[in-house]
Amino acid sequence: MIRTTVIIVFWLLAMNVNGQSMDSCFLNYEVSKIPNDVKQEIKRFYKKRFVLANPKEKFQATDVIEKRNLKERRLVFWTQCSDEFIIIYEHGGYAYHRHLMVLRNERGQWKVARNIGAGKVKSIDQIKEQLKDESVVSFDHF
């Protein structure tokens, strides 16, 4: 776990792939704009249904079921920097928490590289800091 985290930290700190630095990445706030192949890889990774509400939409934030049609997860933001895709989302239900998921494009296919606790990440700089923190909870098999 530490080795993978260190690799991702170095990638974030030194990223300059095809002339695109981490500073040129921009945040996106719409689920509909997440590429379908990224969504399919996340569903494959979790081996189950994976749907996200948009940032300002209601979602099932607690284990108290208000409405059966609410989604269990809500997007905070996502960004793509060359062959790297980062998504931050809230996960409701029992023990509300946030995820920071990193996907890497390997030979034209997205693969989940890391999925860790995101804390209160709201920016690219905070992503860098979160990935440096070795005490974060790993959700790689959650």
Q: Which sequence spans correspond to the domains of the chain? A: 2-132
Residue 34 has pLDDT above 90, yes or no: yes
Do 101 and 118 meet the contact criterion of CB atoms below 8 Å apart?
no
What value does the mean pLDDT take over residues 97-109? 90
Q: How confident is the model at residue 16 (pLDDT cuts 50, 70, 90)?
A: very low
Under 8 Å CB-to-CB from 60, ≥6 apart: which residues?
66, 70, 71, 72, 92, 93
Instruction: Report d(CA 92, CA 16) in Å as an integer.
Output: 35
Burial label for 18, CB within 10 Å (0-12, 13-18, 19+), is exposed
Q: What average pLDDT does the chain have?
A: 76
Taking residues 50-72, report their average pLDDT.
Answer: 86
User: Model confidence at 17, in pLDDT bands (50, 70, 90)?
Assistant: very low
Closest C-alpha among 112, 111, 129 to residue 120: 129
- In this prediction, residue 133 carries a pLDDT of 65
Identify which has the larger pLDDT, 66 or 137. 66
5: its two tokens: 């985290």
Please give the DSSP secondary-structure letter assigned to residue 120.
T
Residue 16's DSSP bridge partners are 21
Task: Give the Cα separation of 71 and 99 in Å (integer).
Answer: 15
Q: Which residue has the higher pLDDT, 21 or 4?
A: 21
The pLDDT of residue 41 is above 90: yes
In angstroms, rounded to a whole number, what is the distance separating the alpha carbons of residues 12 and 25? Answer: 11
